[in-house]
Amino acid sequence: MEITTLTPKLGAEVHNVDLGNLTPVDEEGVKDLFRKHLVLVFRDQALTREQHKAFGRLFGELQTHPAKTNLGMPGDPEIFDINITAKTKVANGESWHTDLSCEPVPPMASALYITEVPPSGGGDTLFANMHEAYATLSEPLRELIGELSAFHDGRKDLKVYGYELRPGQTYPSASHPVVPVHPDTGQPLLFVNEPFTESINELTAAESDALLDILYKHIETNTRFHCRVKWEPNTLVLWDNRAVHHHAVWDYYPESRRGERVTVKSPARPAPARSL
């Protein structure tokens, strides 16, 4: 394998590897690169759905998507479908977020395999390093948020797509520390995102809104801890869902972008940095 870094602190392209036919040495190499770079880009992959799933399972059990298990939407529950066309009203992932932070145990990783890209260009995905997002806050603000927890509610995200729960339906919600630690490294990171985070539990509504707005703007506007992936057909991108936020740029209307994503379960809930 050969590596081309995207930025010094986030992201790498991995060359000369076939994800559908990994050797044991390749598997360990990919896992090491994942721990180091947090976002990995693999181009020119020809994967079946089962091969895509098998790659995800190298990192753990796959997580089923609540839109399919809880709401009865059709399709494979281990697959999240990306199908943005001229008929789409709200594109998936248009706000900075981490996947399914509303789950009691949010996923550890996501692997998105894009097979169709807009012919005229566009449709890039931006990523942000949440270790750096936390580290670049002022010390007084780090001290404040280190004692806080936030409520993440999947119903907030559903409303963006015009979906309201019907009687008898449920959707995940959970509280997580605003500053958890990464389970592999013990390093603190920022863990709030606009699509799923409803409020900070210890603050009034007005205080919560004001503080979350500061944190969201910090994540969105500090390009020094971002990287950008330009998609090509048959590209798979793997990212650490605990330590990285992403934003799918919808700048290609009315053209289409299609693919499928799998997410990998985390073995444990996020642990607050203050407990260590």
- SS3 assignment for 129-194: EHHHHHHCCCHHHHHHHCCCEEEEEHHHHHHHCCCCCCCCCCCCEEEEECCEECCCCCCECCCCCC
Which of 182, 246, 247, 257 is catalytic? The answer is: 246
Point out which residues pair with 181 in neighbouring strands: 188, 271
Kind and range of the H or E element at 14? strand 12-15
Quickly count: other Cβ atoms within 10 Å of residue 114's Cβ.
21
Is 261 assigned a catalytic role? yes
Annotation says 153 is catalytic: no
52, 65, 99, 153: the catalytic one is 99
Task: Give all strands (DSSP E) within 154-249, no chain letters.
Answer: 173-177, 180-181, 197-200, 226-229, 235-240, 244-248
| Bridge pairing between strands 39-42 and 12-15 | parallel
Active site residue 246: yes
Token pair in block for residue 47 = 């994967």
Within a 13 Å sphere around the CA of 239, how many CA atoms are in the beta-carbon half?
Answer: 26
| Residue 175 in tokens | 């509280």
Of 52, 247, 257, 261, which one is the catalytic site residue? Answer: 261
Q: Is 131 a catalytic residue?
A: no
Q: Single out the catalytic residue among 37, 97, 131, 242.
A: 97
Are the CB atoms for 131 and 262 separated by under 8 Å? no
Catalytic sites, residue numbers: 97, 99, 246, 261
